[in-house]
Amino acid sequence: MLAHRGPPGHPERPERVSELVATLESTGLADRCVKLPPRSATDAELLACHSPSHLERVAAMSAELQREAEARGTESAYSDENYDSVYHSSGTERAARLAAGCVLQAVSAVLAGDTLRALAAVRPPGHHAVCERAMGFCIFNNAAVAARAALATPGVSRVAVVDWDIHHGNGVQDLLYDEPRALFLSLHRYGRGFYPGTGSYSEAGRGAGLGRNVNIPWREGDLTDADYQAAFLLLVEPVLTEFAPDLVIVCAGFDASVDDPIGDCDLTPAGYAWMTERLLRFAGGRVVLALEGGYNTRVTADCAAACVRVLLEGRAAEAPQRQRLSPSVEPDLKRVYAFQRRFWRLWGPGGPGGAQAPDGKAEAEAESAAAAAAAAAEAAAEATAITAAREGVPYVKPVHHHPQPPELEEWEWEAAWQAVSSQLEADLPKTEGPSPAPLAPAPAAAADSTAAALDRLWEAAVARAAAVDAASAASATTAAARAAAAEFAAAAAVAAVAAPAAAAATQAAAAAEPGVAVDLTPVPGSDRVAIRIRIRDAGAGAEGAEGGAGDAAAAEVAALAERLAAAASLAGGAAAEEKAKG
């Protein structure tokens, strides 16, 4: 893989892998790993994703450059002509086949039970490569080829590919776009000309694969560990929980890390380790990390080493430093949440699985008629672009369809966001200087109890609901009760760290409340319990004379809040009390 060499100073260089391996050896992590023998991908394996003409073109270019190198008497020769951000050298074909083959080898070992999880330290990367051509430093699509091979393995029904490289994995998306057995989930920068220009939240799959593509695009840089943690808790983990993959392949690019010359973000090794640990909770821990980007060789090596330690030990050595979320993150995630909740059970009142069931596929297909037409036009444009690329004409990326997300009720979003953000803010350090807008209604300075925190949430919920629907006093009151119930559920979930005791106390407190039901949902991968407070027949109350039933429902929720506060305080003690203050 080191024989793939390009122009001097190119960011995708052999040292990306050699320094990573050296770091694993110097830290002693390499001695704890089972080394799998490298192998090259076969034509049959590559043809599961790539066209024969692409394989022929890569082989021909390498052979031509090898002859050129021999004529010059040099070790290698390279060319970057007629490719989209790709160079080609005499050693490219062999290196690219080895890269794809090593990811295949890792997947095969994990599925065979020879090892539970693996890292494939490979280059060139692969997640940009499409069927007919190389793109973005990538020759063959290592992750997509491995996913196809996994799906052909007996006993494997579903494969998830999680891509945390700072660039959108357009190639993986394209190659799996209509595959219902494969889930592609990508977190990446998008817009402002950021390469490759694809990855809108509205690109959700096609045909039988509709809903199996989840893009989480960031509009700004300077992202932190906390931003990615929020995305994982709000979207990645609920989707993976429902999809229930038999294998997770990670496009492990580390170019969102601090000091990377391309990504312009601030993730740390601890942040990548945290994400790795969270992913081990799925597919029975069968996880394969395949190296993608990462162009500061030292930082890339440190991040990969942190992930390998998690693969070996099953947990992160240290938690990421607590940070406030970037200001652009909440609207970015809200846009994705609103769109994807038609396909997946996301965070509703009561935690993951409490929102709409993913039976909105018919609705989504109806709403996406224009998108389907646009996709057909896009495919035609892609075919034209491929032909143009063969003739040396610059590739022009197709225009993507961007429909508006369906309407999202504010109370539903507030419940989801409060539940997620409260987990992140519980341990925030006290920092000096200005900070971004708070994740939840700002607490009063004199607050010193869970009950006071719940009271403030109630007041904020009433104010928001009244602003949203001021046309009818009755409907506004009912909306306030719904919003308040969602807010109380989020706050109680923070207090209920001692899950068994809190569950028993909460059920006892709610038993005597007429018109109010309480549901308890374990939060996947944690010791928390999400508490859903439902108001029975609240809608009927809104239609009653003078809205009296709506007022009664609101009062019932307010009274229940006090009981929940007391129950949570007894169950969780002082620690739970402190968490609820956040």
Kindly give, in sequence order, each residue whose CB lies less than 8 Å from that of residue 6, ignoring residues fewer than 6 positions away: 12, 13, 78, 80, 87, 89
Instruction: Give me the amino acid identity at 71.
Output: A
pLDDT tens, position by position, for the chain (582 residues)? 666 766 777 888 889 999 999 999 999 999 999 999 999 999 999 999 999 999 999 999 888 877 776 677 665 555 655 455 777 777 889 999 999 999 999 999 999 999 999 999 998 999 999 999 999 999 999 999 999 999 999 999 999 999 999 999 999 999 999 999 999 999 999 988 899 999 999 999 999 999 999 999 999 999 999 999 999 999 999 999 999 999 999 999 999 999 999 999 999 999 999 999 999 999 999 999 999 999 999 999 999 999 999 999 999 988 898 888 999 999 999 999 999 988 998 864 334 444 333 344 444 444 444 554 555 555 455 444 444 444 444 434 444 444 555 578 787 888 888 888 777 765 444 333 333 333 233 333 323 344 444 444 444 444 444 443 343 344 444 444 445 444 444 443 333 333 444 455 555 555 544 454 555 555 455 555 455 554 444 333 333 323 344 455 455 555 555 555 554 444 444 333 444 443
Q: DSSP labels for 126-164?
A: -TT--SS--BTTBSS-HHHHHHHHHHTSTT---EEEEE-
> What distances in angstroms separate CA 417 from CA 370, 503, 516, 557, one per listed residue?
31, 22, 23, 20
Q: Read off the pTM.
A: 0.68
Catalytic residue list: 128
Q: How far apart are CA 433 and CA 422, in angstroms?
A: 21
Domains of the chain: 15-41+102-319 (3.40.800.20), 410-581 (no CATH)
Burial class (CB in 10 A: 0-12, 13-18, 19+), 507: middle
In 3D space, the residue among 165, 211, 172, 208 whose CA is nearest the CA of residue 188 turns out to be: 165
Buried b / exposed e across 8-24, counting CB within 10 Å, b at 16+? eeebbbbebbbbbeebb
Cα separation, 343 vs 361, in Å, equals 6
CA dist., res. 91 & res. 575, Å (int): 59
Beta-carbon-side half-sphere exposure of residue 476 (alpha carbons within 13 Å): 13
Angstrom distance (rounded) from CA 334 to CA 115? 38
